[in-house]
Amino acid sequence: AQSVTQLDSQVPVFEEAPVELRCNYSSSVSVYLFWYVQYPNQGLQLLLKYLSGSTLVKGINGFEAEFNKSQTSFHLRKPSVHISDTAEYFCAANTGNQFYFGTGTSLTVIP
């Protein structure tokens, strides 16, 4: 079975500081990887995705992630966070048609 692990359930960070949200996946087959952001009482908004090609993926709002096959990781990074980045972030893997979601990381940006 596939699984996605987000080790950090909560990440507080000061405004304008860098942040990394960790994600590891387990898959014995080719996998597509995603990061979604969810604001309170809203659906999921795609931040970025890795399907193939370059392992460094740039997304919206200044976020980027790097696919590391040897470490089975897809960590999300942003060099300088804003208050508006406070939200829930989900890592997800897709092996063709089904999504497997991590349990989410709550990012809180402190003024």
Partner 1 sequence: GAVVSQHPSRVICKSGTSVKIECRSLDFQATTMFWYRQFPKKSLMLMATSNEGSKATYEQGVEKDKFLINHASLTLSTLTVTSAHPEDSSFYICSAERTGTGTFNEQFFGPGTRLTVL
- Among 20-28, 57-65, 73-81, 98-106, which window interacts with partner 1 (CB under 8 A)? 98-106
Residue 96 carries which side chain, given as an amino acid letter? G
Rule CB under 8 A: choose which of 28, 54, 70, 97 binds partner 1.
Answer: 97
**Binding-residue total with partner 1 (CB under 8 A):** 22
111 binds partner 1 (CB under 8 A): no
Q: Is 99 exposed, middle or buried (0-12, 13-18, 19+ CB in 10 A)?
A: middle
42 binds partner 1 (CB under 8 A): yes
How far, in Å, are 58, 82, 86 from residue 15 at the CA level? 21, 5, 10
Binding site for partner 1 (CB under 8 A): 32, 36, 41-46, 49, 51, 88, 90, 94, 96-99, 101-104, 106
